[in-house]
Structure 1
Amino acid sequence: MSDSDSSGGGWGDDVTRPLRIYVLRHEKRPVDDPTFDVSLTDEGLEDAEELVCEELNELGVNAVYSSPYKRVLQTVEPYLDQVHVGMGACVEWCLSEHPEPNDTPPTEIPDEWHDEFSIESTHVPLMTAEEAHAKNRTIEQVFNRLADFVELLSKVHDEGDVVLLATHQTSVHALLSMASGIPVDCMDVPMGKIVELDWHGVIKYKYHGGPEPPWACYESHFHPSKNKHGGELKFTYIAAEEDSEED
């Protein structure tokens, strides 16, 4: 656990935290280029250095799993580069972008990135790049590979761990959808946003299917607040047509 874990959250020394998992959508990138080696914009780099890093310190993240894409590694690097953190990113191909944006899907991390970024060289990912690409053709495959990964994390991490999954829009939406039953199309998590994941819900989805909310759909909103990342994630109930007719 990082040194920052003891601060915030109202937890005393005699309280045991459960395993917590957070998901992060990478910071801002050029709108017309989602490919493997594209860099964050200047604004995205600045926000990763300040806003994202600050929030990860407040959360006390002590394990980072990252998509191999450059923009995602750039998003978490300022946090990992701090002396007190003492770890690197565990690169996971199952957290890659969907749909595939590259003419030729990448199969390895460029050698120079190991010098540029804090990457755990001994980490063995859940699946190889080739296996991840084979399971990247449909959104159902993305759901399945992510559910398998979350279940693995629940087994290898202990109580008190604070785990971050740094990834892309589709993966963030898929994970939150499995946990909540809210359709992917009803979500719009912005770049740079960190959201806590109900990982128990993801595992329940894997074995029993997702929850079935008694409503037609949700509309997602990020309500303004003092939070620099746009406030807490909230979902607003949209009444079905028959409900509206009864009013």
Structure 2
Amino acid sequence: MKLYFLRHELRPLNDSTFLTELFDIGKENSEKKLKPLLDTLNIDKIYCSPFIRVLQTIQPFAKTHNIQPSCDYCLAETVTETNFIEKPDMTLTEEQSKEFNVNKYHETLFDKKKLVYPESDNQIEERVKIFCKYLEERYGPSNVTILVASHMDIVNLCLAYFSKKEINRHTYYEMGKLSTVENDKIVFLNEGSELDHQV
């Protein structure tokens, strides 16, 4: 299998909960910057966080190629900010599932009921490990190319797993940045996006 890892595009930093959308510039970057890059990679499958900002990031590409993203709570945002106390819900409505053409046949590998504030480091690491092992067992020797779209900490943990390197999950990984692992080395395919005063 070939894996690519993507962090969602630009979003407000003051709210990391489920329904937080991308900035307009983040949506534009997804369409004009990310999609042309993803178009070149022969991606067969998409696994992603069910958070709206992640689905918005991959939608332009997924829609064009008619790939149904498989949402998995292993890839959800870390539930470590106090905003999650007031906004604990992490369930896509039927309307949202249709809007993003979510694969309804994929059963999440991690129970979303366990995603409550404050989430422990152990649980975050464990759910990412569950997902990475699933990919290895299901697709390991195959020629399938998979896009994994998620959040900074989760992408870092995936990269650590597949590169066999120690990576702190808080290591800064730009929004909209795409990477892969080749021969245990992390390779970045773009520079990602940065927030600026215009946003």
Q: 1:160 maps to what in 2?
A: 143
Structure of greater Rg: 1
Q: Equivalent of 1:105, from 85, 88, 100? A: 88
| 1:171 and 2:163 correspond | no
| Cα deviation code 1:12-56 (max 9, x no counterpart) | xxxxxxx11111100000122212101100110011012111121
Q: Which runs of 5+ in 2 are unaligned?
A: 193-199
How many equivalent pairs are there? 185
Alpha-carbon shift at residue 181 of structure 1 (Å)? 2.5
Question: What secondary structure, in the 3-state scheme, does the structure 1 residue paired with 2:108 have?
Answer: coil
State TM-score, norm by structure 2.
Answer: 0.82
Question: CA–CA distance in 2 between the matches of 1:20 and 1:146?
Answer: 18
What root-mean-square deviation, in Å, do the aligned CA atoms of Structure 1 and Structure 2 show? 2.6
CA contact (8 A) 2:18 2:90 kept: no
Deviation at 1:134, TM superposition (A): 6.2
Q: Find the residue that maps to 1:23 and give its secondary structure.
A: strand
User: Given residue 179 of structure 2, which amino acid in structure 1 is its aligned partner?
Assistant: V
Larger relative CO (CA 8 A, sep 6+): 1 or 2?
A: 2
Seen in structure 2, the aligned counterparts of structure 1 residues 66 and 136 have a Cα distance that, compared at 3 Å, is farther
Q: Shift in Å at residue 74 of structure 1?
A: 0.2
Match of 1:121 in 2: 104
Q: 1:191 corresponds to which residue?
A: 175
- Which residue in 2 is equivalent to 1:95? 75
TM-score by length of 1: 0.67
Identity of aligned residues (%): 27
Q: Deviations over 1:38-81 (max 9, x none)?
A: 11001100110121111211111111011010000000000111
How do 1:1-247 residues align onto structure 2 when only pairs under 5 Å count? 19-82=1-64, 85-101=65-81, 102-103=84-85, 104-131=87-114, 133=115, 137-157=119-139, 159-178=142-161, 179-184=163-168, 187-197=171-181, 229-230=190-191
Q: Which runs of 5+ in 1 are unaligned?
A: 1-18, 202-221, 232-247
